[in-house]
Amino acid sequence: MGESRSSLRRGFRVIAVLAAFSLVAAACGSSSSSSSSGGSSTSGSVANTASAPGITPTSILLGSHQPLTGPAAPGYSEIGPAIEAFFQYVNAHGGIYGRSVTFKYLDDGYNPANTVQVVRKLVLQDNVYAILGGLGTPTHTAVVDFLNQNKVPDIFVASGCNCWNEPKVHPYTYGWQPDYIIEGKVLGAYIKDHFAGMKVGVLYQNDDFGGGGLIGIKQMLPASQIVSAQPYDPTTLTNGLGTQVAALQAAGAQVVVLFTIPAATALALLSMAVLGYHPTTVSSSVSSDPTTLAGLVSNFSKGKVGASALNGLYTLNYLPMSSATSDPWMQLFLKIHSQYDSKEPVDGNMVYGMSMAYYFTLAMRAAGQNPTRQDLINAINSQGATWTGPGLAPLGYSATQHLGFMGSEVVQLNASGGATAVSPVYVTNVQGPVTTHASVEGPVPSWLQ
């Protein structure tokens, strides 16, 4: 794909000239290098065509459903803007094959009935090329069949449900973040390695997220070690989590595993502080964005307890921590944030959105200059497992497996909101054994600099 970038021939259609012009301009504007920046350069001999719905010679239209209003909006409403900001940065650096990406994300309020509506609008009326990062298990479940029946690429669902990894039933749907069962297995493996013999209690949300986590943990630990598993209903968080935490305390759990959304994590930590209960606390990656949590728990006791309520909390990490300012990816993301996303906070949701947009950009570049929808699917199936970037664990994409990150590392939070890695990267899939590896985080490619 590394053709020379300025061999414009006569006879090109006007539109191709324009595309190439903008590309050259972008190349001059950036710190141009002579590297093979394949995907972002128009080929010398072939013009950009409108090769698929949502693709024109100069643009790519993507859609998504996100909770921007309602009870699920806090936190998650930052993901859409982060994805959009990353694409704006890519567009300013030549786009993808000279095409600029438009990311249209609509509010579904985390209500599946609304999701059905907005996704039909995106597919049938706006004619998007693909759906990227549709957020939530119950919401996305409502549209996954529609998308597959219409052969619309349904890329990187923003949920760790095991249900996206069903290539036979849903060949157009791909997971991205670590499967909840995998997260449970990784946490279980860590507990087995470091807290052997200690009594374990689990606090989990009573849906696919908490349920999946519990399945994973039970795969790794003997049944006798798990002394109590307390579900909670996310719709009754108004009542707090005091009763569940009191029950875990009464069962004598020395290690408490949290499969909780961030608000519930904060409530659980609050209840632990209230009851003077100080178990070793271990949580899923979903539960514990340190930036969000530190803000929530800082006032438990007139600010005196402060972020130390988080101190010592173990959690999972498959992308750079938003506090890791020395990480080259975080440096890129912070640069993008200051240019295009400065209204939103710098936290795990931002890292999540930008990383997802990066991997999608890789997929589009691999799909070729004039991709059909099937080309994108083929590219992910054949090359997806080899892509590297901000992710610490390898991706599990193949024709028979649509699993995203296959594991994560365990980190421990400190009082200042930072974190230190305390394990190598645990890698597994849903059924197989858990192994440890070094991080596969890759360098920032030159076409992004």
Partner 1 sequence: MEESMVEAKPEPKQLPAAKQPQGLRRLFGQPLVRNIIVGVVALVLFYLLIGHLSQYRIYQLSQVGPYLIALVGLSVLTGQNGQISLGHGALMAIGAWTLTLMQLHTKSPLWLMLIASALVTMVFGALLGLVAARLRGPYLAGATLALALGLPDITTRYQSVFGGYQGLEVNQPNAPSFLGATATPTEWLAIIEMICVVVVMILFANLLRSRVGRKFRAVRDDEIATQVSGISVPRTQVLAFALSAAAAGLGGGLFALVSGNVSPGGYTVVLSISLLAAMVIGGSGTLAGAVWGSLIMVYVPGWATTLSQKLSLNQSVSANLALAIYGFLLVAIIMVAPVGVQGIVRLVIFKMRNLRKEPG
Partner 2 sequence: MRNFWNFLLIGVSNGLVYSLVALGIVLIYRSTRVINFALAAMATFSTFIAASLIDRNVPYFVAFLAAIVFGFLLGAATERFVMRPVESKSPLNAVIVAIGMLIFLEAMAGVIWGAKLRNFPSHFSLIGLKIGGARLAISNFDLFIVTVVVVLLLALLVLFRYTKLGLMMRASAFAPEVARLLGVRVGRMLTLGWGLACAAGAVAGLLAAPKVFLFPNNMDGVLIFGFTAAIIGGLDSPVGALVGGLLTGVALSFIGGYLGSDLENVGAFVILVVVLMARPEGIFSSMSARRV
147 contacts 119 by C-beta, under 8 angstroms: yes
Alpha carbons 60 and 104: distance in angstroms, whole number: 11
Q: Which partner in partner 2, partner 1, none is near 247 (CB below 5 to 8 A by kind)?
A: partner 2
For partner 2, which residue of 34, 125, 235, 420 counts as binding (CB under 8 A)?
Answer: 235
Q: Which does 210 bind (CB under 5 to 8 A by kind): partner 1, partner 2, none?
A: none
Sheet with 59-66, edge to edge strand ranges: 100-107, 59-66, 130-132, 154-155
Distance CA 266, CA 108 (A): 25
Quick note: the x/- pattern for partner 2 over 336-355, rule CB under 8 A, is ---------x----------
Q: Which three-class secondary structure state does DSSP give residue 157?
A: coil
Determine if 284 is a binding residue for partner 1 (CB under 8 A): no
Q: What are the angstrom distances between the C-alpha of 45 and each of 26, 59, 85, 95, 156?
A: 20, 19, 31, 18, 32
Among 227, 296, 385, 444, binds partner 2 (CB under 8 A): 296
Q: Figure out which of the listed residues 39, 54, 57, 75 binds partner 2, where binding follows CB under 8 A.
A: 75
Residue 262 in the binding site for partner 2 (CB under 8 A): yes
Quote the least distance from Cβ 232 to partner 2, whole Å. 5
Span near partner 1 by CB under 8 A; candidates 77-85, 352-360, 397-405, 437-445: 77-85
Pair of tokens at residue 89: 């940065």
Of positions 8, 18, 116, 227, contacts partner 1 by CB under 8 A: 116
Residue 449 β-bridge partners:
none
Mark 230-269 with x for binding to partner 1 (rule: CB under 8 A) and - for no binding.
---x-x----------------------------------
Q: Which of 158, 68, 157, 62 is nearest to 104 (CA)?
A: 62
Helix (H, G, I), strand (E, B) or coil at 3: coil
Which residues are registered as beta bridge partners of 100?
A: 59
What is the separation, in whole angstroms, between the first and last Cα of the chain? 19
Window 297-336: contact mask with partner 1 (x via CB under 8 A): ----------------------------------------
Is 414:293 a contact under the CB 8 Å cutoff? no
Of 36, 301, 342, 435, the one binding partner 2 (CB under 8 A) is: 301
In the complex with partner 1, which residue's Cβ is closer, 147 or 419?
147
Q: How far is the CB of 122 from partner 1 (least distance, A)?
A: 10
Here the tokens at position 354 are 């930008």
Token match 């290690």: residue? 255
User: Which residue number, 235 or 400, has a Cβ lying nearer to partner 1?
Assistant: 235
User: Binding partner of residue 3 among partner 2, partner 1, none, CB under 5 to 8 Å per kind?
Assistant: none
Q: Phi, psi at residue 354, to the nearest 5°?
A: -70, -40
Residue 281 buriedness (CB in 10 A; 0-12 / 13-18 / 19+): buried
Single-letter residue type at 98: G
Residues near partner 1 (CB under 8 A):
66, 68-69, 73, 77, 80-81, 84, 105-107, 110-113, 116-117, 120-121, 124-125, 137-139, 141-143, 145-146, 161, 163, 206-208, 211, 233, 235, 343
Residues near partner 2 (CB under 8 A):
68-71, 73-75, 77, 206, 231-233, 235-240, 242-244, 246-247, 250, 262-263, 266-267, 270-271, 273-277, 292, 295-305, 345
